[in-house]
Amino acid sequence: FLNQTTGSAPKAQTVAKLKVAINGFGRIGRNFLRCWHGRKDSPLDVILVNDSGGVKNASHLLKYDSMLGTFKADVKIVDNETISVDGKHIKVVSSRDPLKLPWVELGIDIVIEGTGVFVDGPGAGKHIQDGASKVIITAPAKGADIPTYVVGVNEQDYSHEVANIIRSAQSVVFYLCFSKNFTNDFFIIHAHMLIVCERSVTTICFVGLKSR
């Protein structure tokens, strides 16, 4: 996806980075920013976060994560609309309506849709209507018109011209997709896979069920 978007250029030529906005600064949104920050050669430039909690909430949860621990980067509040990560300023806005976000004004190329709300074509499509070029949904998407890509399995099938809205393989169910690579060399008769992940706010804790 990113390779086709950025293309390649001679070493002497400077290629402008793609402007990225994160819509929804929950665990996935914050993890995306952490991963991006750790890649100095990334073709992406995160310039905005949309979080209903504002700069105080965004900066604190980015710095201190119950699963990943303390973020080593220097995270600070610059003003009421800006945080900095190791000196890199990132704008923070708070809007629940994608059509009211400054995608045109800021020239946003890619929106990381991490709210878990706008997961179908019409919903995620609001980002496109508002001026973004591409949308990557990080939650289970609805609708056969939104393709799913799993890195290591089918990312080579992505075509820049075909889809402006795609779904990333964010769910634990996609771990099964990697068995496709095993079948190239092995014939699987029986298999068992154990996945351990943290409990989210929407996950039911069976130990605590009253009906047990």
* Confidence label for 2 from pLDDT (cuts 50, 70 and 90): low
Strands (E), the chain: 18-23, 44-50, 64-65, 69-70, 75-79, 82-85, 88-93, 110-113, 134-137, 148-149, 165-168
Nearest to 93 by CA among 60, 135, 49: 49
Lowest mean per-residue pLDDT among 56-70, 110-124, 186-200: 186-200
Contact by Cβ (8 Å): 25, 114 = yes
pTM value?
0.81
Q: Is residue 177 part of a domain?
A: no
Q: Is residue 211 part of a domain?
A: no
CA 127 to chain centre: 14
What pLDDT score does 98 carry?
Answer: 95
What pLDDT score does 194 carry?
Answer: 76
Alpha-carbon distance of 21 to 36, in angstroms, equals 12
Alpha-carbon distance of 103 to 50, in angstroms, equals 11
**Amino acid letter at 15?**
V
Residue pLDDT, tens place only, 109-135: 999 999 999 999 999 999 999 999 999
**Which residues is 69 bridged to in the sheet?**
65
For residue 4, give the H/E element and its range. Answer: helix 2-6
Alpha-carbon distance of 77 to 20, in angstroms, equals 20
Residue 142 CB neighbours (<10 A): 15
Q: Is residue 209 part of a domain?
A: no
What pLDDT score does 108 carry?
Answer: 97
Residue 164 carries which DSSP code?
Answer: S
**Which residues is 111 bridged to in the sheet?**
21, 135
Look up residue 1 and give its two tokens: 């996806």
For residue 123, give the H/E element and its range. Answer: helix 121-129
Alpha-carbon distance of 74 to 60, in angstroms, equals 11
Q: Is residue 184 part of a domain?
A: no
Which CATH number fits the domain that encloses residue 56? Answer: 3.40.50.720
**Which residues is 19 bridged to in the sheet?**
45
The count of domains in the chain is 1
CB-based contacts of 155: which residues, under 8 Å, 6+ apart?
A: 1, 149
Q: Is residue 40 part of a domain?
A: yes
Q: Is residue 97 part of a domain?
A: yes
Alpha-carbon distance of 18 to 108, in angstroms, equals 8
Q: Is residue 69 part of a domain?
A: yes
Structural domain span for residue 68: 2-170
What pLDDT score does 170 carry?
Answer: 63
Q: Is residue 210 part of a domain?
A: no
Nearest to 108 by CA among 126, 94, 88, 87: 126
Nearest to 118 by CA among 96, 103, 100: 96
